[in-house]
Amino acid sequence: MSDLSRPVIGVLAVQGDVREHRAALEEAGAATLPVRRPEELATVDALVLPGGESTTIDKLTRTFGLRAPLRSRIADGMPVYGSCAGMILLADRILDGHPDQQTLGGLDITVRRNAFGRQVDSYETDLQVRGVEGGPVRAVFIRAPWVEQAGPGVEVLASIEAKGESRPVVVRQGHLLATSFHPEVTGDHRVHALFVEMVRRAA
């Protein structure tokens, strides 16, 4: 484990935007470590669950023996940030998932997988995120989920209008943070800085 000034944040490295998240976190003041094994998970202060394919990441966490250790550390209060597929993995409930798909849980939310449509429906927009100063965040949605339902302990930090309704796309509950979009691909590291600050406060 690390000191408060430079926490060690792991990035789950079985699939997805691992390199981009590590670069963003390091720019935001953290040290990083790719996490593929339980012994690596045990050494970090916090974890990022990157975007990718949620069903593939789910299967690979089980293959690598990470599922039980991940669930245990999340339950014990380890700070975790999930982007896109990571939001699905953190959700307690999932809609439109594969029949055998499992989540790690922790966030009292119901997410809809691929809510915005297929890859060709991917798009970008500017989004005001509570807790992120300096103007709107450029949000890149790629086969993204959204939150269909959030429990009373969940704070909605940003929503967008989609299909005639307001859909939460950034949520926080305790030490857990999730975004529907991919801030790691834009060069704007303010969402990662928000998470690094959450890690410091949790420590």
How many residues make up the chain in this entry?
A: 203
- The alpha-carbon radius of gyration of the chain (Å, integer) is 15
In the residue annotation, 84 being an active-site residue is answered as yes
The residues near 183 (Cβ < 8 Å, ≥ 6 apart) are 24, 83, 137, 138, 139, 140, 189, 190, 191, 192
In the residue annotation, 161 being an active-site residue is answered as no
At position 50, the amino acid (one-letter code) is P
Out of 20, 148, 184, 192, which one is annotated catalytic?
184
**What crossing angle do the helices spanning 54-63 and 67-75 adopt, rounded to 10°?**
100
Instruction: Report d(CA 93, CA 144) in Å as an integer.
Output: 16
Out of 84, 175, 189, 192, which one is annotated catalytic?
84
Out of 20, 21, 148, 182, which one is annotated catalytic?
182
State the DSSP H helix or E strand holding residue 186, giving kind and residue range, or none if neither. Answer: none
> What are the catalytic residues?
84, 182, 184
